[in-house]
Amino acid sequence: MDPATSDPLHSAVGIQGAMLGRHEQEVSAARHAVETLATQVSNLTEQVHHLRLDPPATSRAFESPEPRINNPPCYSGEPTECRSFLTQCDIVFSLQPNTYSRSTARVAYVISLLIGRAREWGTAIWEARAECTNQYQDFKEKMIRVFDRSVFGEEASRALSSLCQGNRSITDYSIEFRTLAVSSGWNEPALLARLLEGLRAEVKDEILSREVPSSVDSLIELAIRIERRVDLRHRARGKELALSVAPLSASLPSSSAGSGAEPMQLGGIRISTKERERRITNRLCLYCGSAGHFVTSCPVKGQSSSVSGGLLVSATTPVSPSRSCTTLSVHLRWTGSSASCSALIDSGAEGCFMDETWAREHDIPLRQLKEPTALFALDGSPLPRIQRETLPLTLTVSGNHSETISFLIFRSPFTPVVLGHPWLVCHNPSINWSSNSILSWNVSCHVKCLMSAIPPVSSVSSSQEEPGDLTGVPEEYHDLRTVFSRSRATSLPPHRSYDCSIDLLPGTTPPPRGRLYSLSAPKRKALEDYLSVALDAGTIVPSSSPAGAGFFFVKKKDGSLRPCIDYRGLNDITVKNRYPLPLMSSAFEILQGARFFTKLDLRNAYHLVRIREGDEWKTAFNNPLGHFEYRVLPFGLANAPAVFQALVNDVLRDMLNIFVFVYLDDILIFSPSLQIHVQHVRRVLQRLLENCLFVKAEKCTFHASSVTFLGSVISAEGIKMDPAKVQAVIDWPVPKSRVELQRFLGFANFYRRFIRNFGQVAAPLTALTSVKTCFEWSVSAQGAFDLLKNRFTSAPILVTPDVSRQFVVEVDASEVGVGAILSQRSLSDDKVHPCAYFSHRLSPSERNYDVGNRELLAIRLALGEWRQWLEGGDRSFCRLD
């Protein structure tokens, strides 16, 4: 072809090729657009499908938020806990599907709860961006393969076949049994037989003696009931053995060359190999350990047939004076004489003993035992036999615990008296081993032993004694006039286990001398009278102590003056006694059904307790007339309320919260009928007298249908505020400063359980107490002040809660606070009456809660506030506003 004619042809072909290339690109772009449109159509179709299934948008706006739940415990890689940990995580995901909608979020959540070796594995998986981190189910399966070692199938069957209760409780045994049973695949009869076979013999025998239940659950319930009965039976037997003080077996085995038996055997007790070798080396008797004879001619062995019994003591040698031991100061009285000594507390001794020499020196009357009693050391070696005992003596411990007791006589040169295990079991004292003092006694001691500990009254004739004004005291109690005695109440009480100790913090020194207060003429005259009476009674003595607190008077409600000491410096360096004071709310439930009330006020309350011997110098005080120190408990010490509350609680322990409520020196007695009430009041007065606690008759109220007690008026109808306190709130002037406002709120806050929504009403006033805000009395503050006063005047009577009947809890929540009412329906008028009110001002973070969560917060706080009444109640229910 001619080249000249071929060029146009090549050019045309090139143009056609370019056009084909453009067409191919356009087709490719069109294909991509079609695919994109197809994807969009598919997405729209799916959205339309979901729209048809989902509720309308109007209802979703009011949909409640996902519940807030606590995170599961962290997982450290324990093989047996893997599946339970993942199950708890799955529960979180099911309750919060929107929060954990993506697989990566679920995987991240699980990894965040891993610790230890599990965290190391999870961190490696996450940092490597492994494929399983994108699919939660894959991650879960991988984690199970790595960590889980749960028992399944044949392995579970083998473990179940060998499972026994052993020393565990049936509750613990049944939990493991049920866990294995789920994975074993056994049927109900096989499980029932295996469960019964694994029980302890005594429980199994008891079950087989009756009809065996037909299900595993019923069998477990029956076994738990039987186990409780068996345990109670064992504890009862243990108490009987502990209370019986029977001597040990008297039969001492005779030596026999053929048997090779140890001649020193006492029941199961033998001498040690080392002791046997020592006796052989030193040519001592193998039977009694003495020198000068051998076992064949041992005089102790020859007399063993006439021995009636044996008692154990803790050591084979007398107690050395250098040995660290617990001793108590005791006082012994017998006909025409008495003596004081120290007594060793020995829980290893099987009796109470007295040193022979000490008894002879003090002419203590003795008598022969009908039959001698053998005495043995803990290693089985015999001690000299006991042939005599004392006549019954009066033993007084801690000043006011008295009993009649006889002591066995034996040689104990370093301790005159030994109080052994039988004495400890009988009185069950609570002992402070570091200070060698008794803190409290058994409840029965308050009836038997403390009764005779009253100092003799013969020294003061009835004509000289001032019983106090008995005008308001019913005649039923006039025979107990001594308990109302003025002179006895102002006399020096005895030392006892409740003496107030003043222990200083380590490294501290006595506080510097306190301020010397100037006194007006009336107060100076009162000071002279007080010092004169106190010195005559012996409750204070002149002092040369380096301490010296300030002295002043405060007025009491009846107008009289109460001496007070400024012990703030001493209190700052004193080790605190944390014995609790009771809450008034704790008296609500116990007052249920009471119709008659008596209120007792203890005279010279704190002065009825002694300061611990050696601590008196710390109570020294200065005044214009000199320098003195207390021998009794003064007002103002940090530990005074705790010490006195502990004393009165222990004195009235068996009556407390049954028909008696005690708050320091105020005692409330309540009863359902007058006849029972007289018996209750008499028991309390008798007990107070037995323990040298005396009552101020002129401040007592007897047999009343209503009584004012601790700021509340208590009656059969319920509890209401003291009208005098309500009037004080009504007459309260408008606060002019932050301090005055704090005083008002502190006073009003005591009655907040009577005021509905107290926290919300008082919120504007509470905000003004903050030092971060300027104190400006605004319109809202005045409104809250007036509304609070109005709420006080209209506060209802609160009925005493009855836990046997149904409670109603009503809660309400606002943007400021939450409140609740605890109510019960009355049987008399079939109306709902309030038992208590509760309110809580919301914190800044709590104000961010939505309405539902604020309501839930109100429920949680209310249930926590009244838990002691609602737990175990009869189907209590809650109402929401």
Separation CA 118–CA 362 (nearest Å) = 77
Q: Please state which of the ranges 88-102, 447-461, 825-839 shows the lowest mean pLDDT.
A: 447-461
Reported confidence tier of residue 545, pLDDT bands at 50, 70, 90? confident
117-131, 226-240, 670-684: range with lowest mean pLDDT: 226-240
Mean local confidence (pLDDT), 576-597: 80
Q: Which two tokens stand for residue 344?
A: 């060793």
Highest mean pLDDT among 2-6, 136-140, 192-196, 516-520: 136-140
Q: Is the pLDDT of residue 820 over 70?
A: yes
**Cβ-based neighbours of 91, under 8 Å, separated by 6 or more:** 69
DSSP letter (8 states) at residue 515: -
SS3 for 685-711, per residue? HHHHHHCCCCECHHHCEEEECEEEECC
Provide the CA 818 distance to its chain's centre, in angstroms.
29
Contact criterion met (CB below 8 Å) for 541 and 628: yes
856-879 pLDDT, tens digit per residue, is 888 888 888 888 777 766 666 666
Residues 65-78 pLDDT 10s: 788 788 888 988 88
Q: Are 655 and 701 within 8 A, CB to CB?
A: no
| Percent over 70 (pLDDT), the chain | 80
Question: What local confidence, expressed as pLDDT, does residue 456 receive?
Answer: 40
What is the predicted pLDDT for the residue at 598?
92
**H-state helical runs in 715-841:** 723-730, 738-749, 758-761, 763-768, 779-793
Instruction: Assign 450 a pLDDT band (cuts: 50, 70, 90).
Output: low
Q: Give the pLDDT mean for 737-749.
A: 84
Q: Are 597 and 670 in contact (CB under 8 A)?
A: yes
Q: Are 630 and 616 in contact (CB under 8 A)?
A: yes
pLDDT at 880: 60
133 DSSP 8-state letter = G
Return the minimum-mean-pLDDT range out of 124-128, 632-636, 690-694, 756-760: 756-760
**End-to-end CA distance of the chain, in Å?**
104
Higher pLDDT, 130 or 316: 130
Helical packing angle, 170-184 and 188-197, nearest 10°: 150
pLDDT at 667: 92
* Window from 230-244, 486-500, 654-668 with minimum mean pLDDT: 230-244
Distance of alpha carbon 630 from alpha carbon 620, whole angstroms:
7
pLDDT higher than threshold 70 for residue 318: no
Can you say how many angstroms the Cα of residue 753 is from the centroid of all Cα atoms in its chain?
Answer: 24
Provide φ and ψ at 856, rounded to 5°.
Answer: -65, -40
Q: Which of 223-232, 253-262, 278-287, 442-451 has the lowest mean pLDDT?
A: 253-262
Residue 600 has a pLDDT of: 92
183-233 pLDDT, tens digit per residue, is 777 888 888 888 888 888 778 777 877 778 888 888 888 888 888 777 776
Q: SS3 for 510?
A: coil
Which residues fall within 8 angstroms of residue 44, CB to CB, at 6 or more apart? Answer: none
pLDDT surpassing 60 at residue 249: no
Least confident of 340-354, 509-523, 640-654, 810-824: 509-523
Measure the CA–CA gap between 13 and 22, rounded to whole angstroms: 14
Segment 276-297, tens digit of pLDDT:
667 766 667 766 777 666 665 5
> For 782-806, how does the pLDDT look when each residue is reduced to its tens digit (9 = 90+)?
888 888 888 887 777 777 777 777 8
Spatial CB neighbours of 777, under 8 Å, sequence gap ≥ 6: 734, 735, 768
Q: Is 805 helix (H, G, I), strand (E, B) or coil?
A: coil
Identify the DSSP state of 594: -
Q: Is the pLDDT of residue 499 over 70?
A: yes
Q: What is the pLDDT of residue 124?
A: 85
87 is written with which tokens? 């199950």
- Highest mean pLDDT (candidates 40-49, 109-118, 159-168, 241-250): 109-118
DSSP state of 377: -
pLDDT value of residue 243: 39
Q: What is the pLDDT of residue 64?
A: 63
Does pLDDT of 464 surpass 70? no
Strand partners, 376: 312, 382
Ramachandran category for residue 626: left, alpha or beta (phi over 0 → left; psi -120 to 50 → alpha) = left
Q: Place 406 in a pLDDT band, splitting at 50, 70 and 90.
A: very high
Computed over its alpha carbons, how large is the radius of gyration of the chain? 42
The whole-number pLDDT of residue 311 equals: 62
Give pLDDT tens digits for 328-358. Answer: 888 888 887 888 888 888 888 888 999 988 8
Q: What are phi and psi of 388, to 5 degrees?
A: -135, 160
Backbone angles phi, psi at 472, to 5 degrees: -90, 5
Residue/partner pairs of 96-101 with CB below 8 Å, 24 or more apart: 96/66, 96/67, 96/69, 97/66, 98/66, 99/66
Q: Residues of the chain with pLDDT > 90: what percent?
A: 4
Average pLDDT (520-533) is: 87
Beta bridge partners of 707: 714
Question: Per-residue pLDDT averaged across 699-707, rounded?
Answer: 88
Q: Does position 319 have pLDDT exceeding 60, yes or no?
A: no
What's the mean pLDDT in 730-738? 85
For tokens 């005291």, name the residue: 473
Mean pLDDT of 676-692: 87
* Mean pLDDT across the chain: 78
Sign of CA dihedral 866, 872, 877, 880: positive
Mean pLDDT of the region 316-323? 44
Q: What is the pLDDT of residue 68?
A: 79
Contact 399, 453 (CB under 8 A): yes
